[in-house]
Amino acid sequence: MTQEPSHADHSTHAAEEDARNEAIKIYVNGEIVPKAEAKVSVYDSGFMLGDGMWEGLRLYDGEWAFFDEHMDRLFNSLKSVSLDSGLTPEGVRDILDRTAAANGITSDAHCRLMITRGRKAKPFQHPQLSRFGPTVVAIIEHSRPSEAVQAKGIRLATVPQVRGLPMSQDAKYNSHSKLNCVIACLQAEQAGADEGLMLDPNGFVNTTNACNFFIVRRGEVWTSTGDYCMNGVTRQKVIDLCMENGIPVREKNYSLYEAYGADEAFLTGTFGAQTPVAEIDGKRIGIHEGAGPMTRRIRALYKELVAEDVAKQKAARG
């Protein structure tokens, strides 16, 4: 029996198949070990409670794009939950560089860096039980975003799961607990879509379960106010690029009415950069197959920005 392709094969995190990923080496607490041996305790705070923070970074030509911005977010999150990693941003860079080198990877790679409160003395919630120091893991995979996804675009379904207020669990925490997003993704999948479009507590369009969300209307680029979504590095770069290149850009409240009537829509994230949206709730967005002209323009500007950042980092390292 042939298996139906799952929605995961057509999501914003869909990558071209790469058999080399079976043989990668993974950093686990100071050691770089084969994938099959990369393990953490069942008592780990991340496993038990989702008590940890992570970052997704991309490697281009030997450099981690927008490294400082990723470290700003990570260290802000760690500080906010009093999780002392014992690391500095330069220490993190050393871990990532050593792991990439151990795998012979210099480009077209994605890293999931995870820092949890570490192993617990007992299987209960209190952070004081996490007394053996943090768990640090870096998984670096060969990764090229799926061309089929770029060519066809993503289908979104608006889901009942909303983004919460910041005083419950602030969406700016890139925490191991992604249950809010996972529920949204399940709801989208069950509605026959690839990814969930999430509203804010007031019913305005906010973000998707895994990416930030933009629409293009009558030559303007709109995204949410940023109040209930991940403070995406790519999101901010797109806003900055629009401002620097004379493209009108607005962070504002807007409803599904305006999203359905958009000329283009796209998602942003480190993994896929800018991914076109083909439809929302069964309504086709725009007249283009794949990315529309504004999305293409922003993609090109973003690609140049990555190249500039990589060149700057190389020059700074000497």
Ligand X SMILES: Cc1ncc(COP(=O)(O)O)c(C=O)c1O
Among 52, 118, 196, 232, binds ligand X (CB under 6 A): 232
Size of residue set near ligand X by CB under 6 A:
15
Q: Among 211, 208, 180, which residue's Cα sits nearest to residue 281?
A: 208
> Which whole-number Å values give the CA distances from 214 to 168, 186, 286, 312, in the listed order?
25, 22, 13, 28
Least separation in angstroms between residue 267's CB and ligand X is: 8
Residue among 15, 48, 137, 230 that touches ligand X (CB under 6 A): 230
Q: Tell me 308's DSSP state.
A: H
Which are the contacts of 26, defined by CB distance < 8 A and separation ≥ 6?
A: 32, 33, 34, 35, 38, 99, 137, 138, 139, 140
Asked if 164 is part of the footprint of ligand X (rule: CB under 6 A), the reply reads no
Nearest approach, Cβ of residue 130 and ligand X (Å): 23
**Of these, 116, 135, 234, 275, which contacts ligand X (CB under 6 A)?**
234
Contacts of 312 (CB under 8 A, 6+ apart): none
Pick the stretch among 11-19, 33-41, 105-113, 227-235 that binds ligand X (CB under 6 A): 227-235
The SS3 call for residue 188 is: helix
Draw the binding track, 266-285, toward ligand X (x: CB under 6 A; -: no contact). --xxx---------------
- Compare residues 111 and 129 and give the one whose CB is closer to ligand X: 111
Question: What does the alpha-carbon distance between residue 139 and residue 40 come to, in Å, rounded to a whole number?
Answer: 13
Alpha helices (H) along 23-66: 45-49
Please identify which residue in 40, 154, 210, 291 interacts with ligand X, judged by CB under 6 A.
210
Q: Which stretch binds ligand X (CB under 6 A): 30-38, 150-158, 226-234, 309-317?
A: 226-234
CA–CA separation, 287 and 5 (whole Å):
26
Q: Judge whether 215 and 208 are in contact, CB under 8 Å.
A: no
In angstroms, give the least distance from the CB of 34 to ligand X. 26
Cβ proximity of 78 and 53 under 8 Å:
yes
Question: Does 117 engage in binding with ligand X (CB under 6 A)?
Answer: no
Among 235, 242, 274, 295, binds ligand X (CB under 6 A): 235
Q: Which of 185, 211, 242, 265 binds ligand X (CB under 6 A)?
A: 211
CA distance 258 to 47: 40
The DSSP-derived string for 239-282 is HHHHHHTT--EEE----HHHHHT-SEEEEEETTTEEEEEEEETT
221: its two tokens: 């680029």
Q: What would the x/- binding string for ligand X be over residues 64 to 103, using CB under 6 A? A: ----------------------------------------
- Listed ranges 107-115, 231-239, 278-286, 296-304: which one lies at the site for ligand X (CB under 6 A): 231-239
Determine, following the binding rule CB under 6 A, whether residue 50 of this chain makes contact with ligand X: no
Q: Nearest distance from residue 174's CB to ligand X, in Å?
A: 5
Name the residues that contact ligand X, by CB under 6 A.
56, 174, 181, 207, 210-212, 230, 232-235, 268-270
